[in-house]
Amino acid sequence: MNSLSTRERSKLRRQRIGLAFQSPELLPELSVADNVAITLLFDGWKREKALAVAQESLRRVGLTEHGDKAVDEISRGEAQRVAIARALVHPATQLLIADEPTANLDAQSARDITALLVSQVESRGHACLIATHDMSVAAACHRIIDLRAPAA
Q: Where does this chain bind other proteins (CB under 8 A)? A: 6-7, 9-10, 13-14, 19, 21, 25-30, 34-35, 38-39, 41-42, 44, 47, 70-73, 86
- Closest approach of Cβ 124 to other proteins, in Å? 17
- End-to-end alpha-carbon separation of the chain, Å? 27
Minimum CB distance to other proteins smaller for 45 or for 124? 45
* Dihedral of the alpha carbons of 71, 95, 107, 81, in degrees to the nearest 10: 20
Q: Where are the beta strands (DSSP E) in the chain?
A: 17-20, 95-99, 127-131
Nearer to other proteins (CB atom), residue 48 or residue 146: 48
- Nearer residue to other proteins within complex by CB, 91 or 115: 91
**Taking phi first (over 0 means left), then psi (-120 to 50 degrees means alpha), and beta for anything else, what does residue 44 get?**
left
CB of 114 to other proteins, least distance (A): 21
Whole-angstrom Cα distance, residue 80 to residue 103?
Answer: 11
**Smallest distance, Å, CB 141 to other proteins?**
23
